[in-house]
Amino acid sequence: MSVAVASTATAAATMCNGLTMNSPQDFVDPVDWSDLDDLSRQLRQEAIQTWHDEPELGPLLRNTVLAPGVRTFEDAVACTVAYRLLSKPCPQTPPASFASNAAPADIPTFCPSSLRGIISEALHNNLLREAGHSASEAVRLDALAVCDRDPAVDTVLEVVLFLKGFAALVCHRAAYYKWHAHKQKNAKKKSLTALWLQSQASSIFGLDIHPAATIGAGVLFDHGTGIVIGETATVGDGCTMLHGVTLGGTGKDIGDRHPKVGANVLIGANASLLGNISIGDGAKIGAGSVVLRPIPAHATAVGSPAKIVGRARESNPGSTMDETLQNVQLMRKSASSATLETVASTNTDGTSPVTQLTAYDENSSTDDVDQSSSSSSGSEGEDGEAESSLETKDRTTKHKHDKKKKDKGTSSTDAFCPFRDYIRLAKNAPPDSITFCTLKSLLQPEGCPLYQIGEIMFTLDTRNVGYVKPEAFLTNEAKQIIVEKTKWPLERVTAVLEKFRDKWHNATSNKARQPHAVQSSLIPVSG
């Protein structure tokens, strides 16, 4: 039975639509391998070995990585992506229907030779760079990133032939080159060839990347289906995105309107990042999150709307693929906390237990509890007597007052702010400590936006406890952090901190004279 199957496979490999294909045993490689670099040599070797192992792949290999004229890695990538973008090769002779301007269904929308030439031109151009890299350098690093991070991939050949995330990136790099080369000739016109590449890549591979978007090198689009990247978005080197990720705009606004993702960022499946926001280097965005505000470097954000639950332990989350967020240093003592629960079970394959992210808010059920207390306040007590209507009214009034106070305490805070837990943690911080609310009262009157205040607090709070000691805040290191995040001149930051230093010294002096004081008036307790 196996012999018959092998014979059929060999026959299929040597005859394809009436065309005779050389068998792998008869194939004489015309390429001088001594002229090839390591990656090009590896790809060619894997292709020839695969042809020997599975002869039925002969037609595919001879039309892609082993096609006539293909030598280098760049040649193979250009030929393969062009082949995959077009369903059928260009006919040798124009059909008669061309004379009547008819467009038969079996004619491709682009000449394969021309398309291969466009991609090849982009890959061999060293002048027009994307995020500081030539297209050739970027594509090579992209392929190596897939091999390094995707456990399902064993060879470079698999990446070039089958990985649609990689193929879509190649299309984008060619479209990026075409877009900007066209703009250099006529700044007012778009390149429709670049837009065709975007459209065709979206149709064939399922990823929609605008030609003007800027993407760094060593990027992995794992699975890739449903990834959308808008016109003014940027993605740094070494990032990983799972399927369904959206880097979307702010609506109908024109101009700079899409996210700016730093280097080595991990973005989980189906996460949506919307608007002109920054995601700092080494950040992690949990699967399904909706991010509407900036996230600082090395932070881990989850939820909808996303909030920061801790910081990444590794320096390059984009390479470690910690999709279940097991390697995260969580915030401590959070009134509205997110915890990682380890399921107390062993997987059937003997691997480690699965880790789940569970978010809860201790205050979320406060209103329900108060409501139930109020509704039951009229029930009979131990002596069988009903509570008086006056006491019931007082209790209801108190509940409404507490709820109004609670709403008032959070109304001034952006509901989408990713630093929401820091505001809650401030309420339980030690007296005279520096909290998010302290920084807000200090820096917001100076014109510092809320997201920058949060970034400063996150950077200072290396222990993830929601506060820092005043003496740690009044250091040159803290001053440099504020300068870096706010982009203010050093003199301005120094003046602001000098005001704070004087206020802090006065507050601590007053506290020393009043030892029974519960908390210094220096520290605001709510946002």
Nearest to 78 by CA among 40, 49, 31: 40
- Give the pair of three-digit tokens for residue 351: 């691997």
Where are the alpha helices (H) located in 327-475, listed in sequence order?
366-376, 389-411, 420-426, 436-443, 450-460, 470-473
What is the pLDDT at residue 336? Answer: 37
Residue 189 CA to residue 179 CA, distance in Å, equals 9
- Under CATH, to which class is 418-508 assigned? mainly alpha
Residue by residue, DSSP assigns 161-215 as: HH-HHHHHHHHHHHHHHHHHHHHHH-TT---HHHHHHHHHHHHHHS-EE-TT-EE
User: Are 326 and 355 a contacting pair, CB within 8 Å?
Assistant: yes
The answer to whether residue 337 scores a pLDDT higher than 50 is no
pLDDT digits (tens, 9 = 90+) for 404-444: 444 444 444 567 889 988 888 888 888 888 999 989 989 99
The per-residue pLDDT for 431 is: 82
CATH superfamily placement of domain 230-329: Hexapeptide repeat proteins (2.160.10.10)
Looking at residue 302, the DSSP 8-state letter turns out to be E
Q: What pLDDT, on the 0 to 100 scale, is given for residue 364?
A: 36
pTM, two decimal places: 0.78
The four Cα atoms 409, 461, 271, 359 give a dihedral, to 10 degrees, of: -60
CA atoms within 13 A on the CB side of 168: 29
Judged by average pLDDT, the poorest of 205-214, 288-297, 362-371, 458-467 is: 362-371
User: Per residue in 130-146, pLDDT tens?
Assistant: 999 999 999 999 999 99
Domain boundaries in the chain?
25-87+110-200, 230-329, 418-508
**pLDDT, tens only, 201-242:** 999 999 999 999 999 999 999 999 999 999 999 999 999 999
Asked whether the beta carbons of 135 and 173 are under 8 A apart, the reply is yes
Nearest CA-CA partner of 169 in 128, 127, 214: 214
Give residue for tokens 């062009």.
82
Q: Half-sphere exposure of residue 62, counting CA atoms within 13 Å on the CB side? A: 20
Asked whether 118 and 174 are in contact (CB, 8 A), the reply is: yes
- Structure confidence at residue 11 as a pLDDT band (50, 70, 90): very low
Distance CA 438, CA 135 (A): 47
- 33 CB-contact burial (10 Å; exposed 0-12 / middle 13-18 / buried 19+): exposed
Average pLDDT over residues 500-504: 81
> Lowest-pLDDT range, 244-258, 263-277, 348-362, 494-508?
348-362
CB 194 within 8 A of CB 182: yes
pLDDT surpasses 90 at 246: yes
Q: How many angstroms separate the first and last alpha carbons of the chain?
A: 76
Cβ proximity of 217 and 142 under 8 Å: yes
Distance between CA atoms of residues 102 and 60, nearest Å: 30
CATH superfamily of 25-87+110-200: serine acetyltransferase, domain 1 (1.10.3130.10)
Query: Residue 406: its pLDDT value, please?
Result: 47
- Taking the C-alpha atoms of residue 44 and residue 38, their distance in angstroms, rounded to an integer, is 10
For tokens 């007053």, the residue is 510
Between strands 19-20 and 15-16, the pairing is: antiparallel
Which one is predicted more confidently, 484 or 400? 484
Tokens in use for 160? 């070039």
CA atoms within 13 A of residue 21's CA, in its CB half-sphere: 24
